Structure 1
Amino acid sequence: MRILIVGINYAPELTGIGKYTGEMAGWLVAAGHEVRIVTAPPYYPEWRVADGYAAWRYSREVQAGVSIWRCPIWVPARPSGLKRLLHLASFALSSLPVMACQLFWRADVILAIEPPLFCAPAAWACARLTGAKAWLHVQDFEVDAAFELGILRAPWLRSIVSKLESWLMRRFDRVSTISPNMVQRLIQKKLATEKAVLFTNWVDIDAIFPLNAQSAMRQQLDIASESTVALYSGNMGEKQGLEIVLESAASLVGEQGIQFVLCGDGAVRQRLQQKYAGLPNVLWLPLQPLERLNDLLNMANIHLLPQRSGAEDLVMPSKLTGMLASGCPVVATATKGTQIAEVLLDCGVVVEPDNVEHFSSAILQLARDATRRAVLGAHAREYALRNWAKERVMQEFDRQLKGL
C-alpha cells in the first residue's frame, strides 16, 4: 500500500508528535508499505530548527526507508497565540507545492496529522483528486485547547473556527484520535460514529522497562541513593502548567530527601528557570537522547504529570506511555472522569488541577511510602503492557488501513 503522511512534526524530534509519527512511518515501511511524508525541519520542543537543517529551504532525505520531503517553516523564538498561527500557516503554505507533486505518486491513503489542522484541507483535496482514502489523525484538539487555555480568546472566532473544523473532519473517510474520551469528542463534533477510530499512542515495552537496580543516572548526577526523585520529563509549554511542580518544590524545600528533576525543553523553560532559580531541591536537565530515556525514567521514584485545568481531555500526554512502562507511579493533575484520571486509577495519585497544596501532599505521601509506590508502579507496568504495547497498537492500525 502507498501511504502519504503530512504533518509538521517528524523524526528526529525526540518528544511528542514527531516521535510517534516517525515511529509509525518506520513500522509501516517494515510491514511492507511504501511511505512518504511531507513535513518540516525538526524544531520541537526547543522552538529552534535543529543543526544540519534549514528553516527556509526545501530538502529531501530518506530515513528508515521513509521518503521525506521537508518544507520551509517560520519558527518563532517565543511563540504566542498569533505567532503560533503564523508558524502553522507558514508550513501549510510551503507544503502545498510538495503536496501537489505527490498527486503523480497516487497514494492509496493520505494521512494528515493534527496539529496542525491547517494541513488537513490539502490532504483531503489530494485524496479526492487521486481517488485515495483520506485519514485525519488527531493527536490533540488544538482548536479547543487554544480557546480553553486562553491562547485565543474571541468567542466569535471560536464559533467560526469550530464549525469549520467540524465540517472539515466530516469530509474525511476516517478520523482517529488517541483516547476513548477524545473519540467521544469527535462524535460530539458531529462526526459519524462509524468514521471515528481509536488509535492510541504506544510504547516500546522492550526499550522502556523497570530496572532491577538503581539507574546509573543517579550517580552521574550526584543524587543520593536514598533520595526520592520526583521527575517531570518532556515538553515545557503552556499546556503543561509546570508552575504547580515548582510551587510544590518550593513548599517542600524543608523536606530532606526529596529531589525534583525537570528534564526537557520548550517555550516556557527559560522563564520558569529564571523565576525559580533559587530552589535548592530542583535540578534542571536538558532533553536526553533516546538511548538514555530508560535510565532517565528509571531514575524517578515518582513521575509528575501536571496539566492545566481544561486541557485534560483535549490532549492525552504522550509522555504518559513511557512513565507507566517504566513501572513507576504518577502524580497527576486532572479532573475526575477525564481520561487521565481513569488511566491512573490504579497507577498513581490524581489531584484537581491548580491545587498546589494537594499536589505537594500527594508527592510527600508517596515519598514516605515505598510499599505503596511499588504496588502502584507494578500496576502501571501492567497497564502499559495491556494497552500500549507498540506491536499490538500498530498491527490494529495496519488492519484499519487495509480495511479502507
Structure 2
Amino acid sequence: MKILFYGINFAPELTGIGKYTGEMAQWFAEQGHDVRVITALPYYPAWKVSENYKNAYVTEQWKDVTIYRTPLWVPEQPSGLKRLIHLASFAFLSIPTLLKQWSWKPDVVWVVEPPLMCAPAAVTFAKMVGAKSWLHVQDYEVNAAFDMGLIKAKWLRGFVESCERWLMRCFDRVSSISGQMVKLAQQKGIDKSKIISFPNWVDISAIEPLNDISPYRAELGISEDTIVALYSGNMGGKQGLEILAETAQIIEQKGIVNIQFVFCGNGAGRANLEAGCAGLKNVLFLDLQPFERLGELLGLADIHLLPQRTDAADLVMPSKLTGMLASGKTVLATATIDTELGHVVAEEAKCGLIVAPEESDEMAEAIIKLSNDSDSRFIFGNNGRQYAESKLDKNTILRKFEQDLVRVL
C-alpha cells in the first residue's frame, strides 16, 4: 500500500502524538509498504523548533520513510488564540506539500486530530486522487477547547461543532483510542460502520519490568528504600499538574521523608509546576529523557502519577498510561470510575488506585497508603504488565490496523 500520514507531530518528538505516529510509520515501512509523511518541524513539547532544523520546507529520509516537513509558527507561551494560529499556520503551509503528492497517488490518506484544521485539505485531496481517507482522533480538540476554557467565546460552540460533525462524516473511516472516545464519535453522528477502535500501544519488549534497581536512583541520589512517585511526560494544560505540587506540599508538611517526587518532562505547564514546588525538598525535576532510557526511567517509579483534569475526562486518553502499565509499576490516577481512565486503572487492568480529580488531599493519602503497602504495589504492577502484554502489544494492534486499512481499500 501507499500510505500518506498527515499530521503536525512526528518523530523525533518523544511524547504524545509524535511518538505514536513515528512508531506507526516505521512499522508500516518495515512491513514493505510505501510510506510518506507530511508533518511539521519538531517543536513539541518544548514549544520551540528543534535547533537541528531551520523553520523551512525540508525533505528527509528516516527509517525507509520519506518525510516532508513544513514550516509553522510556534508561540513561546501558547494560549487559546495562539494555539489556533499555530495550528492554522501548519494547516495552510502544508497544503502545497500535500498537493505535490498528486503524482504519487497514495492509496490511503491518514490524518490525525489534532489538528482538525488539516482535515478539510486531507479529505478533499483524497477524493481528488481516488484515495481512501481516514481520520484518527487522539484528542477531541473542539470539545476540549471549549470545556477547558481555551476558547471563551461560547456562542461559537454550536457552529464549530456542526462544522466538525460534517467534516468527520466526509471521511471513509474515523478511529479513536478508547471506548468512550469511540462512543463520542457515534454521538457526533458518524455512521457506526465507519468507526474503528484503534488504541495506543506499547512496545512491551522495549519497556519491561526491571530485574535490578533503576540506575536513575544512583544518578539522582535516591536511596533504595525511598518511595519514588514519578510523573513523566508532557507538561501541558490537560494534565491538571497543579495537583502534583499541592500533593508534594501536603506530604512534606506531614513530615514524611521517605517519599520522593520526580517530575520529568517539558511543556507549557512546567514553569507553573516548578513555581508551585519552590522550596520543596521532596521534589526533583528532570527534562525529558532519551527514548533509549525510557524503560529505566519508568522503572524508577514505585508509584506512577497520572493526573487528569475533570473537564478533560473522556475527551483525551493519556498516552503515557501504556508505558506505565508495561513497566510493571503501580498507577495512581485522578479520575472517576465512570471515565475510561478510571475504568481501565481500577477495574479493567486493576493496576492501581484512582482518586477524585483536583483533590490533592486524597492523592496525598493514596500515596502514603501505597508507600506503606509493598504487597499491593507488587500486585498492581503485575496486573498492569499482564494487561499491557494482552491488550496493548504494538505488533498486535498495528497488525489489526493494517488489516483494517486493507478492508477499507
Q: TM-score, normalised by structure 2?
A: 0.98
Name the count of aligned residue pairs: 403
1:74-119 CA deviation, whole Å, 9 max, x = no partner?
0000000000000000000100111111112110000011100000
1:276-323 CA deviation, whole Å, 9 max, x = no partner?
221110000010001111000000000000001121201111100000
1:301-353 CA deviation, whole Å, 9 max, x = no partner?
00000001121201111100000000011110112211101110111101111
Distance in 2 (CA, whole Å) between partners of 1:188 and 1:222 is: 51
The residue aligned with 2:51 is: 51
- Runs (4+) of structure 1 moved beyond 4 Å? none
1:261-284 CA deviation, whole Å, 9 max, x = no partner?
000000011222133221110000
Helix, strand or coil at the partner of 1:69: strand
Q: Output the amino acid matched with 2:294.
A: L
One of 356, 360, 364 as aligned partner of 2:360? 356
Helix, strand or coil at the partner of 1:29: helix
Query: How far apart are residue 239 of structure 1 and its match?
Result: 0.6
Helix, strand or coil at the partner of 2:158: helix
Distance in 1 (CA, whole Å) between partners of 2:337 and 2:42 is: 36
Distance in 2 (CA, whole Å) between partners of 1:360 and 1:148 is: 27
Helix, strand or coil at the partner of 1:167: helix
The residue aligned with 2:369 is: 365
Helix, strand or coil at the partner of 1:104: coil
Alignment of 1:178-217 (within 5 A): 178-217=177-216
1:163-201 CA deviation, whole Å, 9 max, x = no partner?
100000000000000011110000000000000100011
Query: How far apart are residue 245 of structure 1 and its match?
Result: 1.0
The residue aligned with 1:331 is: 332
Aligned: 1:280 with 2:284: no
- Structure 2: tracts of 5 or more residues without a match: none
Aligned: 1:14 with 2:7: no
Distance in 1 (CA, whole Å) between partners of 2:141 and 2:278 is: 31
Distance in 2 (CA, whole Å) between partners of 1:335 and 1:170 is: 31
One of 387, 390, 396 as aligned partner of 2:400? 396
Distance in 1 (CA, whole Å) between partners of 2:172 and 2:69 is: 26
Alignment of 1:248-263 (within 5 A): 248-253=247-252, 254-263=255-264
Distance in 2 (CA, whole Å) between partners of 1:377 and 1:29 is: 33
Distance in 2 (CA, whole Å) between partners of 1:248 and 1:258 is: 11
Q: Calculate percent identity across the aligned residue pairs.
A: 53
Q: Output the amino acid matched with 1:267.
A: A
Helix, strand or coil at the partner of 1:239: coil
Q: Is contact 2:335-2:354 (8 Å) kept? A: yes
Query: How far apart are residue 156 of structure 1 and its match?
Result: 1.6
The residue aligned with 1:140 is: 139
1:204-248 CA deviation, whole Å, 9 max, x = no partner?
000001011110110111001100000000000111111101100
Alignment of 1:201-240 (within 5 A): 201-240=200-239
1:341-373 CA deviation, whole Å, 9 max, x = no partner?
111011110111111111111111001100110
Helix, strand or coil at the partner of 1:237: coil
- Structure 1: tracts of 5 or more residues without a match: none
Distance in 2 (CA, whole Å) between partners of 1:301 and 1:381 is: 14
The residue aligned with 2:319 is: 318
